[in-house]
Amino acid sequence: MKQIKTLLIAAILIIGVSQSINAQAKTAHVDVNDIMSKLPAMLDAQKQLEKLSTTYDADYKKMAEEFQTKLKKYDAEAATVTEVINADRQKEVQDMQKRIQDFGQNAQKELQQKQEDITKPIYEKVRASIQKVGKAKGFQYVLDGSTLLLADGPNLTADVKKDLGF
């Protein structure tokens, strides 16, 4: 009876240890920032955004120069024209200033929206690749390595890059 009790306790301990070993999840890490910064599609997207940004900057600069030119002209002529003309010019300058501010705000919003529209599918592609590689290698969790303080587990960054074709 004592031997059965001992065997039963030993069996329970063995089952408990094997359960705790199975409960440990396989974890790996990947550096998403490294992948995104070197992905050809992302580099093309950045070029598109820079081109759009340059266009907006040039338009904004042109509007600001026109504003300054008109302001100087109106200031120089202010003493020689009537109050009605000066009031009209002041309103025109205020309207122009508002258009410039609105343009700057709208350009920034459009640029942010364009960035989201361009980068979202790229990020989704990278995410799908990470999931594919992680599952193929039997990992239950894959953490973004750019935010880890300690990364002793396997690094899947090279495998994900290979899966994405670069």
Domain range for 18 is 2-164
DSSP string, 56-92: HHHHHHHHHHHHHHHHHHHHHHGGGS-HHHHHHHHHH
Q: For position 112, what pLDDT does the model report?
A: 95
Q: How many structural domains is the chain composed of? A: 1
Of 101, 102, 76, the residue nearest 89 (C-alpha):
76
Of 154, 159, 156, 160, the residue nearest 129 (C-alpha):
160
Whole-angstrom distance, CA of residue 52 vs CA of residue 112: 11
Question: What percent of the chain is predicted at pLDDT more than 70?
Answer: 80
Q: What is the mean pLDDT of the chain?
A: 84
Whole-angstrom distance, CA of residue 128 vs CA of residue 122: 10
Whole-angstrom distance, CA of residue 132 vs CA of residue 148: 21
pTM of the model: 0.67
Q: Average pLDDT for residues 17-38, to the nearest whole number?
A: 73
Q: What are the pLDDT digits (tens) for 90-109?
A: 999 999 999 999 999 999 99
